[in-house]
Amino acid sequence: MKRVPSLQRKAVVKHELSVFGGEFDINNYYNDNKTLSIELLTVVDDEGLVSIGTVGLSEIPLRNADGAEFVTRVELCAGAPVEEAHWPNIVVSTAFSIQRMGKSVRPGTVVENIIDEYFPNTNLPHVYLTAPFLWGDGSFPELLFSGLRVNWLQCVAISEAEKEFIYVNGDEAFEELLSEQGVNIFDKERDSVVFK
């Protein structure tokens, strides 16, 4: 029996399509023991870039360190060339990690060892969450739904040295480095902008 999507999920899909545009596909993903699931919306544009957005992560309240509910609900997004077929799985694994932790995430959060699951010898094993910048005017508007605020975080692959740099110097300093060096975030073989 097919599950009817909640009104919130429908609103998330509509909102993502307003940002991504184009023809879309939605697929459901499960973790290995089927205790967690997440839907993923994908849109491929004319230039061969796939836009990826989670649907349903925002139904789960995340908690601050003091146990209070975080001020906003969260969905994830990413962009990648179509040939980088692993990115939907990376976004899903990041969402599952957030679901399991139940802790608040925000721009500058690092979700460790996600990419390492798929590419054990990668130079970029971690996922860095940042304010979305790939679409439209470089922003991803907030969705207000039934008294809830929903915001998106974009997934970017980073190195171990970059993770340590973020922990010491903060996300703004790291993003300045990315900008200064003109880093291609789509290149999974790229060199780290920070070296140990």
Span 165-183, pLDDT tens digits? 999 999 999 999 999 998 8
For 115, list phi and psi in degrees, rounded to 5: -70, -30
Taking residues 142-147, report their average pLDDT.
95
Write down the pLDDT at residue 5. Answer: 79
Would 48 be classed as within a structural domain? yes
Taking residues 2-28, report their average pLDDT.
91
- Angle, vertex CA 158, rays to CA 152 and CA 161, nearest 5: 135
Would 169 be classed as within a structural domain? no
Would 82 be classed as within a structural domain? yes
Residue 1 has pLDDT above 80, yes or no: no
Question: What total of structural domains would you count in the chain?
Answer: 1
Average pLDDT, the chain: 93
Looking at this protein, which amino acid is placed at residue 174?
A: F
Would 193 be classed as within a structural domain? no
Write down the pLDDT at residue 3. Answer: 67
More confident residue, 190 or 163: 163
Reported confidence tier of residue 196, pLDDT bands at 50, 70, 90: low
Q: Using alpha carbons, select from 143, 130, 121, 126 the residue that is nearest to residue 58.
A: 143
Would 176 be classed as within a structural domain? no
Write down the pLDDT at residue 104. Answer: 97
Q: Strand 148-158 relative to strand 73-81: parallel, antiparallel, unpaired?
A: parallel
Residue 195 has pLDDT above 90, yes or no: no
pTM of the model: 0.94
Write down the pLDDT at residue 2. Answer: 57
Would 39 be classed as within a structural domain? yes
* Cα–Cα distance measured from residue 177 to residue 23, given in angstroms and rounded to the nearest whole number: 35
Query: What residue numbers bound the domain in which 25 lies?
Result: 7-160
Residue 97 has pLDDT above 90, yes or no: yes
For 19, list phi and psi in degrees, rounded to 5: -90, -45
Would 13 be classed as within a structural domain? yes
Residue 71 has pLDDT above 90, yes or no: yes
Would 20 be classed as within a structural domain? yes
Looking at this protein, which amino acid is placed at residue 133?
A: F
Residue 4 has pLDDT above 80, yes or no: no
Whole-number percent of the chain with pLDDT over 90: 80
